[in-house]
Homo-oligomer: A and B are copies of this chain.
Amino acid sequence: MTTVGVDIGGTKIAAGVVSEEGKLLESTQWPTDPTSPEVIEDGIVSAVQNFARTYDIEAVGVAACGFVGADRSTVRFAGNVAWRDHPLGQILSERLSLPVVVENDANAAGWAEFQFGAGREVSDMVMMTIGTGLGGAIIVNGKLVRGAFGGAGEIGHMVAVPFGHYCGCGHEGCLEMYASGTALTRAARSREISEPTYMGGVRTYAGDRSKLRGQDVTQAASDGDEAGLELVSHLGYWVGRGAASLAAVLDPELIVIGGGVSRAGDVLLEPARRSFKENLFAMENRPLAPLVISTFENDGGMIGAGDLARRD
């Protein structure tokens, strides 16, 4: 028997049929209107009904960018979509007559890694999803840690720097402001102001200085540009620091780095590993959890949500 996994992002929705082995048997995606919960639900219902013509769908798992309640149905709020205490799971379940569970998207992606990807051999794992923001998933003793109210795993909002960069959440110095694609973009633009000559190489990837983005930096770094390497290395420094704080608290066997920015690969991962070691409590007196890149690039949310739908 199979499930459907759905991944709702700020601009598009992806849905796919997930096998018990974590394979994506078929998938589809479409742009969405983040301002209308109904349009989102209509799209999901129609996609699931479509899959149901071919597959025996047992349940639906939805990965949502937002704060999902302990009931695994209600989205308390989301930065990019117009949900506010919205009973997303219940609505979909009623319309589809199927069990539906909703999970935070970073949690879903982490679960996919844990079950079928980089973490499939371990029982305690942390995943850091470095995309526009910084999401997290925590697996303790084979179980996803959801927290008392469903809000666990918000590692991007650990405080990393007193009086540090303003975060969209209204606080200063959240880790997300140092270890994310947004951080990389902002660091690059800032450096472009203070040292434009040094940034010449990176700038060529953006074409126009006002369009400079994180991916220009990672690309420049991959091509060996000095400024690009320095900026990505600095991002890695913060990823490693964050990983070290998480390891102090959770002592995982493995730390999986995912999200779009993780595709930079070793230019990011090497400095992250070094910083992780440098900042890890009791480093020489403990087994060192490896930092590895995630197995799934974009499908983790769907696969994880689909698999979680099958569990209580």
- Partner of A192 from the list B170, B196, B249 (CB cut-off 8 Å) is B170
Known: A194-B171, A249-B138, A281-B169. A161 touches B163 (CB 8 A): yes
> With A164-B163, A244-B159, A281-B157 known to touch, is A152 a contact of B249 (CB < 8 Å)?
yes
* A244, closest chain B residue (CB): B159
Is A253 among interface residues, defined by CB-CB distance under 8 A? Answer: yes
> Does A194 lie within 8 Å of B283, measured CB to CB?
yes
Chain B's closest residue to A163 (CB) is B161
So how many copies of this chain end up in the complex?
4
Residue-wise interface mask of A (221-241) relative to B, using a CB-CB cutoff of 8 A (1 in contact, 0 not) = 000000000000000000001
Contact pattern, A 103-139, Cβ under 8 Å of B = 1, otherwise 0? 0000000000000000000111000000000001010
Which bracket fits the contact residues of A?
35 or more
Give the residues in chain B near A155, CB-CB below 8 Å. Answer: 248-249
Contacts of A192 in B (CB 8 A): 170
Assembly CA distance A265 to B276 (angstroms): 31
- In the complex, which of the residues B149, B158, B174, B249 contacts A136, with contact meaning CB atoms closer than 8 Å? B249
Cα(A289)–Cα(B152), bound, Å: 13
Chain A 183-196 per-residue mask, 1 if CB under 8 angstroms from chain B, else 0: 00010001111111
Cα–Cα, bound, A77→B165 (Å): 27
Tell me if A252 is interfacial: C-beta within 8 Å of chain B: yes
**Contact call A147/B76, Cβ cutoff below 8 A:** no
| Contact in complex: B154, A249 (CB < 8 Å) | yes
Given contacts A148-B252, A163-B178, contact A196 B284 (CB under 8 A): yes
User: How long is the Cα–Cα vector from A152 to B138 in the complex, in angstroms?
Assistant: 13
Q: Which of B76, B141, B196, B287 is A149 in contact with, Cβ under 8 Å?
A: B287
Which 3 residue pairs across A and B have the least CB separation, nearest first?
A147-B251, A170-B194, A170-B193
Residues of B within 8 A of A153 (CB): 249, 251
Instruction: Tell me if A286 is interfacial: C-beta within 8 Å of chain B.
Output: yes
CB contact between A195 and one of B151, B246, B254, B284 (< 8 Å): that residue: B284
User: What residues of chain A have their CB less than 8 Å away from a CB belonging to chain B?
Assistant: 67, 76-77, 122-124, 136, 138, 140-141, 143, 145-166, 168-174, 178, 186, 190-197, 241, 244-246, 248-254, 277-279, 281-287, 289
Are B151 and A279 in contact (CB-based, < 8 A)? no
Chain B, residue nearest A196 (CB): B284
Report yes or no: B195 in contact with A158, Cβ–Cβ below 8 A. no
- Give the distance to chain B from A165, nearest Cβ to Cβ, in Å: 6
Smallest distance from the beta carbon of A163 to chain B beta carbons, Å? 5
Q: Least Cβ distance of A200 to chain B in Å?
A: 12
| CB-defined A-B contacts under 8 Å, sample of 27 | A67-B285, A77-B285, A138-B249, A138-B250, A140-B143, A141-B143, A141-B145, A147-B250, A147-B251, A149-B286, A151-B251, A154-B251, A155-B249, A156-B248, A157-B248, A158-B158, A163-B173, A165-B166, A166-B186, A169-B193, A170-B194, A170-B195, A174-B281, A197-B284, A245-B245, A246-B249, A249-B249
